[in-house]
Homo-oligomer: A and B are copies of this chain.
């Protein structure tokens, strides 16, 4: 069955959350949003492409920073309202220069930084 991005369930803004996971380490790198065109662009080009809600623009991940995400495999969840993109990540995924955006842990009720920026 061939994927038609229109069969995914987008929210009232036409967006679907996409979780990026590192192929090698299994690390969850980030979560961002795609619209139907971003899904199609990601599948066609193999370059993970999001929709930037703050800039209202396509966001080919790493286009300016060089920290690209090469698509290994896209997966759809059971409700068809969330995507998982398994990627090869060049350098940091986070704009703070950390490998992952999820660098703040809650431990004993306190926020603890568990990851340093890459050098």
Q: Which of A's residues lie within 8 Å of B, judged by CB? A: 1-3, 17, 19, 21, 25-28, 30-31, 43, 73-79, 82, 84, 94-96, 98, 101-107, 109-111, 114
- Distance, CA A110 to CA B28, complexed state (A): 25
Q: How many copies does the complex hold?
A: 2
B79 touches A2 (CB 8 A): no
Known: A1-B110, A1-B111, A26-B25. A73 touches B105 (CB 8 A): yes
Shortest Cβ distance from residue A71 to the other chain B in the assembled complex, whole angstroms: 9
Chain B residues within 8 Å of A74, by CB? 105-106
Do residues B75 and A105 form an inter-chain contact, with CB atoms below 8 A? Answer: yes
Q: Are A103 and B78 in contact (CB under 8 A)?
A: yes
